């Protein structure tokens, strides 16, 4: 009995321990579940806060974008309104007194920019509208003249070029009562009112004298490259240049004029002519060019053939490249034809009292290594 009682007591005691442990585990489980539940509630609460914050930020961003868009649209409308207001205001201020066509033919950038700058500045002062074109072909030149005639312009300032169709278009403009003036180059066959440009015969003589000045006092060989749209003998400016040049050369028995080459207005025409001449006459002492494009092209050939210092180059133009080559003594001298003065004088004649002579001479300058520092930037 004792044995059984002892065992029963132990069993009951163990049962109490088990019950007690079960209670503890149950309590622990409930606590754990409670903590998990609380954590979940906390997380859920945190997510709700985050969601609310994100929604709030999104709303704020939307409002900012909406305000910015509204400001942008308003600003654009105001700017557009001001633009049209100013445009109308400016147009109301500008009342052109006359309309002129200014027509140039394949001229170099430097000459054109300087010519254009001079005439536009003077035209603005006098409320004159200028339609400035630099055509690349004779057909474009004729088309521009016909358009100007149809538009009943007050005057045409153009290069004189000997081409039958071009001359016909010019004469039709004159027949319509439009004043026509030639600049830079002259042409026969028209009743143009005036020519404004350099004295081609005098330029030819001075180009020859400049050549003599840079050459040694011994028998020398030289070549002349003349730029012309048509044959040089039909081109007034080119033919006068050649006559003036030869009038000096022929008086010096030590000067041997080996070649007179004619070039077009093509960019590489002068380069090709210079290369051909130096290939035929490799010991040539001097080349004289009558245009800026030909001068630059001949300079390139002299450099390529390693003739710097051996073949003197006399040219035309004041572009940055030509001024650089003068400083480097690739070019011995270059003539500046004063395009600014030429364009301003041409406009003066069109708008002011007419001179008694139909020939207005524009002086030219010679730039060498001694005075090149006075020119360019």
- Select the more confidently predicted residue: 11 or 348: 348
Report residue 25's pLDDT band, with 50, 70 and 90 as the boundaries. very low
d(CA 266, CA 139): 16
User: CATH assignment of 200-336?
Assistant: 3.40.50.2300
Report residue 48's pLDDT band, with 50, 70 and 90 as the boundaries. low
d(CA 32, CA 14): 26
Confirm if 223 and 260 have CB atoms less than 8 A apart. Answer: yes
* Window from 75-89, 336-350, 356-370 with minimum mean pLDDT: 75-89
Domain assignments of the chain as residue spans, ordered by start: 1-93, 98-197, 200-336
Q: Which of 299, 289, 288, 286 is nearest to 254 (CA)?
A: 286
Token digits of residue 274? 């210079």
Decide if 98-197 and 200-336 have a common fold: yes
Check pLDDT > 90 for residue 322. Answer: yes
CA 117 to chain centre: 14
Q: Which of 279, 358, 254, 369 is nearest to 323 (CA)?
A: 369
User: CATH assignment of 98-197?
Assistant: 3.40.50.2300
- Report percent pLDDT > 70 for the chain: 73
Distance (Å) of CA 313 to CA 105, 128, 228, 267, 276: 25, 41, 19, 18, 15
| Residues 276-320: tens digit of each pLDDT | 999 999 999 999 999 999 999 999 999 999 999 999 999 999 999
The per-residue pLDDT of the chain, averaged, comes to 82
């Amino acid at each position: 009995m004792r044995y059984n009682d002892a065992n029963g007591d132990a069993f009951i005691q163990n049962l109490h321990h088990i019950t007690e442990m079960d209670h503890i585990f149950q309590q622990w489980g409930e606590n754990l579940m409670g903590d998990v539940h609380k954590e979940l509630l906390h997380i859920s609460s945190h997510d709700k806060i985050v969601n609310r914050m994100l929604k709030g930020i999104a709303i704020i961003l939307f409002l900012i974008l909406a305000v910015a868009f509204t400001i942008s649209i308003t600003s654009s409308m105001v700017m557009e309104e001001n633009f049209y207001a100013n445009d109308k205001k400016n147009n109301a201020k500008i009342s052109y007194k006359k309309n002129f066509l200014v027509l140039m033919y394949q001229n170099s950038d430097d000459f054109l920019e300087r010519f254009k700058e001079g005439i536009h500045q003077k035209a603005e002062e006098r409320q004159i509208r200028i339609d400035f074109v630099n055509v690349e072909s004779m057909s474009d030149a004729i088309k521009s003249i016909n358009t100007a005639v149809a538009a009943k312009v007050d005057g045409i300032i153009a290069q004189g070029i000997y081409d039958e169709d071009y001359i016909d278009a010019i004469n039709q403009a004159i027949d319509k009562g439009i004043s026509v003036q030639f600049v830079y180059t002259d042409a026969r066959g028209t009743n143009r009112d005036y020519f404004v440009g350099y004295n081609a015969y005098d330029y030819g003589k001075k180009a020859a004298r400049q050549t003599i000045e840079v050459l040694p006092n011994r028998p020398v060989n030289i070549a002349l490259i003349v730029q012309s749209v048509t044959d040089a003998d039909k081109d007034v400016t080119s033919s006068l240049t050649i006559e003036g040049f030869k009038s000096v050369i022929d008086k010096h028995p030590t000067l041997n004029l080996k070649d007179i080459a004619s070039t077009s207005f093509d960019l590489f025409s002068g380069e090709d002519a210079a290369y051909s001449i130096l290939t035929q006459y490799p010991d040539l002492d001097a080349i004289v060019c009558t245009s800026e494009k030909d001068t630059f092209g001949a300079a390139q050939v002299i450099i390529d053939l390693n003739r710097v210092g051996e073949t003197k180059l006399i040219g035309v133009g004041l572009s940055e490249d030509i001024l650089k080559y003068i400083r480097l003594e690739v070019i011995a001298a270059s003539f500046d034809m004063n395009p600014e003065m030429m364009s301003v004088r041409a406009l003066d004649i069109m708008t002011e009292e007419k001179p008694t002579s139909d020939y207005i001479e524009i002086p030219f300058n010679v730039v060498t290594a001694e005075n090149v520092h006075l020119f360019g930037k």
